[in-house]
Amino acid sequence: MGILFQGGTIITATETVQADLLVEGETIALIGQNLNSEGHETVDCTGKYLMPGGIDVHTHLDLPFGATSSNDDFDIGHMAAAFGGTTTHIDFATQRHGETLAQGLEKWWRKSEGIAQIDYSFHMQMTDPRDDVLDEIPSLLDEGITTLKLFLAYKTMYQISDGEFFRVMQRAAEHGMMVMVHAENGDIEDILRPTLIAQGKTEPYWHAHSRPPEIEGEATNRAIMMAALSGCPLYVVHMTCQQSVEALRRGRTQGYPVMGETCTQYFFLTAEHLGLPDFEGAKYVCSPPLRTEDDQETLWQAIQDGTLQVVSTDHCDFWFEGGRGPWQAWAQSHPKGDWAAYERQNPNYRRPGKELGRHRFDKIPNGLPGIEDRMLVMWEAGVNGKRISPMKFVELHCTNPAKIFGMYPRKGTLMPGADADILVWDPEAEHVRSAATHHMRCDYNVYEGMRCRGKPVQVYLRGRKIVDGDRWLGENGYGQFIKRQPNAPIL
């Protein structure tokens, strides 16, 4: 017995067609007109769209950050993602200084195994590319990990030198792997930030001034030149501004193996949000910072013309009003403890959050909630707003992520043999984005009050229904780790 989706309009990155779709087991078995329903469970999709499950390739679940960690984990974060239409994501396993890659990866296995509710994979985030660590790189392919993330920013925490960056790219290129880069000039930021603080400019508003668009554009161009020299595919994460987009467009025109993403928040929010009174601006502190309305138009043009290939989230949420309860004593006695478990057992407790930077913007945990909102707000502004077509929407949020990150055609499309990750999308369903109704473990929503039309009313992961209206049907441990393939295409 299978599941037959009848009467819907199937939307992929290349076509829109009214057809039935049959799922048998965990995969799509058949697509066609007027399929025989005998012996199958049927789902009436009249007036609905059928789209592949979304793929968010840039998330930070349960990420340690200074004296705290990001709120959403592989439990609640996965449920929130699914309610927003995302059925697969890629998180960042982090190697700290002095660790091997295997030690960094092991921590993320512990965070996810037996807990995951949707499918997932990992990028390897490298911060200490010693010779012995470079020798480990090929072993990641055995784990199904094909991407390495490097930083040209966060000088005292993650940043590596240009020489180290280039050596990693050379090694990655030998094995068909791709390098991802956080492109901001950390040396310049390390001068601008303390200068502002010394001048008494400590409010959240000044965060954007400590990381201006020029340092993003410069670092993006530098990384692109190293991709050209090394022949290593490069993927620039969370691009925000005209300077970086122009550098990417130039590189692609020259035929260099470079691609890029932007994130949902950069289409909707600006640096003006950082200046909100009563510390409200702290809610919007992320890096790279929010930019201008002109930069938003640059990003819309870049996804329309293919300069940017993916829209992701960089989801990394923290409490706005955190630090409730005896967290300091608990943290001292449980230095590697499970914050989420403690919060569930102690409802009046909250781990530290944005308030850590109340007196200095550089102490505010960087990151925004968004894993649940991505497809909902982009459909409203992009498709309903006539900026992109439904097919382009699927391309940016589902198909391109699967192709670039070695999961296609298992993920990212609706075709026989693909995983049955299916969204039954109601284009007329109206809803309002709000912290009062979202599923993320966060006490604010950066799109608060935004009215949207269109949402998934049913979500299937490998043939199993995990969202039905407002009901959660998922299960811890059902999410699978997806091993990815190297030598993915440059789109």
Q: Assign 331 a pLDDT band (cuts: 50, 70, 90).
A: low
Structure confidence by residue, pLDDT tens digits, 79-137: 999 999 999 999 999 999 999 999 999 999 999 999 999 999 999 999 999 999 999 99
No. of helices (H) and no. of strands (E), the chain: 16, 19
Rounded average pLDDT over 287-294: 98
Please state, in angstroms and rounded to a whole number, the distance separating the CA atoms of residues 248 and 266: 17
**Is the model's pLDDT at 336 over the cut of 60?**
no
How much is the pLDDT for 346?
Answer: 77
How much is the pLDDT for 325?
Answer: 74
**Phi and psi at residue 141, in whole multiples of 5°?**
-65, -30
How much is the pLDDT for 334?
Answer: 63
Return all residues near 321 (Cβ < 8 A) that are at least 6 apart.
350, 353, 355, 443
For residues 108 and 140, the answer to whether their CB atoms sit within 8 Å is no
How much is the pLDDT for 66?
Answer: 81
Longest Cα–Cα distance of the chain, Å, equals 74
Query: Of 167 and 334, which is predicted with more confidence?
Result: 167
Can you give the residue ranges of every domain in the chain?
Answer: 54-318+353-375
Strands, E assignment, 281-356: 310-312
How much is the pLDDT for 337?
Answer: 59
Q: Assign 67 a pLDDT band (cuts: 50, 70, 90).
A: confident
CATH domain 54-318+353-375 topology: TIM Barrel (3.20.20)
Q: Assign 11 a pLDDT band (cuts: 50, 70, 90).
A: very high
Q: Assign 347 a pLDDT band (cuts: 50, 70, 90).
A: confident
Stated pTM of the model: 0.96
Q: Whole-number mean pLDDT of the chain?
A: 96
Structure confidence by residue, pLDDT tens digits, 155-213: 989 999 999 999 999 999 999 999 999 999 999 999 999 999 999 999 999 999 999 99
Rounded average pLDDT over 263-279: 98
Rounded average pLDDT over 65-90: 95
Rounded average pLDDT over 266-282: 98
Neighbours of 211 (CB within 10 A): 21
